Amino acid sequence: AQSVTQLDSQVPVFEEAPVELRCNYSSSVSVYLFWYVQYPNQGLQLLLKYLSGSTLVKGINGFEAEFNKSQTSFHLRKPSVHISDTAEYFCALYNFNKFYFGSGTKLNVKP
């Protein structure tokens, strides 16, 4: 069975501080992993993806994520957040033509 767990439902952080959004997955086979961002009243947009190769993946807006197979994790990081990063972030796993999404983490960046 495939599943994605996002441990934090909400993460408050001050502007220009670093942030890490945690994601753990469960799968019996090799997977592709993604992070999507959802701004209010919009659909989801791809931030970054891991398909193979380097375990450190860089995405848009200064975000990056590291695939850790032994810990079955794919945590999202940004060294310095902006107010505009306030949104909900979804970790997702792809397998057998389906995407499995986590429950989402709301990032609230405060001035």
Residues that bind other proteins (CB under 8 A): 32, 34, 36, 41-46, 49, 51, 90, 94, 97-99, 101-104
Q: Which is nearer to other proteins, 36 or 81 (CB)?
A: 36
Q: Which is nearer to other proteins, 85 or 100 (CB)?
A: 100
The continuous run of DSSP H or E covering 98 comes out as strand 98-101
Asked whether the beta carbons of 13 and 109 are under 8 A apart, the reply is yes
The continuous run of DSSP H or E covering 63 comes out as none
Is the Cα torsion angle 85, 89, 93, 99 positive or negative in sign? negative
Name the minimum Å distance from CB 49 to other proteins.
Answer: 4
Q: Which of 77, 79, 74 lies closest to 91, judged by CA?
A: 74
Q: Which of 48, 10, 36 lies closest to 100, judged by CA?
A: 36
Name the minimum Å distance from CB 43 to other proteins.
Answer: 3
Name the minimum Å distance from CB 83 to other proteins.
Answer: 22
Residue 46 CB coordination number (10 Å): 12
Name the minimum Å distance from CB 61 to other proteins.
Answer: 16
Q: Which is nearer to other proteins, 25 or 81 (CB)?
A: 25
Q: Which is nearer to other proteins, 52 or 111 (CB)?
A: 52
